[in-house]
Amino acid sequence: MKLTLTTSVILSALFTFSSTAEANDDFQNTNKFSVGVGSYALTIDHDNVGENEFLGHSLSMTYAISDSMSMNIQSYAIAHDDYSDIEISGFDMSVLYGTGLASKGFKAYIGVGFYSETREFDRAEEDFSGVQLSGGFGYSWNKISLGLLIGARSTEDYKDLANNGEDTTVISSSLVLEYRF
């Protein structure tokens, strides 16, 4: 249900703003697509248990709907910082609103989206999914872009990992170098 609602909101936003983007002549001369690679980190913090940190890499794809709106999807594979036999693979998708998302120069953005991932440990798998709020900044040159994206995730699925339903905070971050075309 959460995934369907989030997808509906994202698609509605895309259709609403796509007509504005098509009418803008300056936007027609910008780089709308970008693909890239980067680092990805995930921190799961349970109040009384402590932090679990996961590090790895990501593949990213971005489409600029306009200079103020874009859509980003990342696929990632990460492993626990201390216990490499605990691995997480998944993706997150966000609709970002900000400035400079298609043009050269500084860019800053906030957004909303969802994530879906699978944690593997001792041949057992557990799935996590939910919504996330994102924000970040970066800089774009003619064909290259560098960006930092930080996300605060909903934690319902992660609370099962904690004892006695402790408060949980989950933060993701990625630093991505993209090729723009």
- Domain borders along the chain are 2-180
**pTM of the prediction?**
0.81
| pLDDT at position 49 | 72
Least confident piece of the model among 19-23, 60-64, 89-93, 177-181: 19-23
Residues 6+ apart with CB under 8 A from 91: 73, 74, 75, 76, 115, 116, 117
151 vs 25: CA distance, rounded Å:
32
pLDDT tens for residues 114-146? Answer: 999 999 988 889 999 999 999 999 999 999 999
Domain 2-180 fold: Porin (2.40.160)
Q: Which parts of the chain fold into alpha helices (H)?
A: 2-23, 25-28
